[in-house]
Amino acid sequence: MATPESKTVHILVRWTDSKGPQRRECNVPSTTVIEDLLNMFPDIPRNHWPLAEDGWPYPTNYVVKHGDLFDFV
């Protein structure tokens, strides 16, 4: 029996702001892109951006996947 595709994914977002290190685990729509995270978490400094495992910044249109970790540095 086929299961319906999940409409949300679980992610972890980390950043440091004037209050110190911040960490949020959350469920977001499966269509969320990284730019959306900046709107969801307005405390993330606007000049910070997460890096992928290869050390390069994620593209702005990267669609988040279940279990992703985003360190905004």
- Residue at 61 is within a domain: yes
User: Residue written as tokens 């994620």?
Assistant: 58
- Residue at 65 is within a domain: yes
- Residue at 27 is within a domain: yes
Q: Please tell me whether residue 64 adopts helix, strand or coil conformation.
A: coil
Q: What is the 3-state secondary structure (H, E, C) of 20-61?
A: EEEEEEEEEECCCEHHHHHHHCCCCCCCCCEECCCCCECCCC
- Residue at 56 is within a domain: yes
- Residue at 44 is within a domain: yes
CATH of the domain at 14: 3.10.20
How many structural domains is the chain composed of? 1
| pLDDT one digit per residue (tens) for the chain, 73 residues | 444 565 999 999 999 999 999 999 999 999 999 999 999 999 999 888 999 888 899 998 999 999 999 999 8
Q: What residues have CB less than 8 Å from 68, skipping those under 6 apart? A: 9, 11, 12
Tokens of 37: 């995270």
- Residue at 1 is within a domain: no
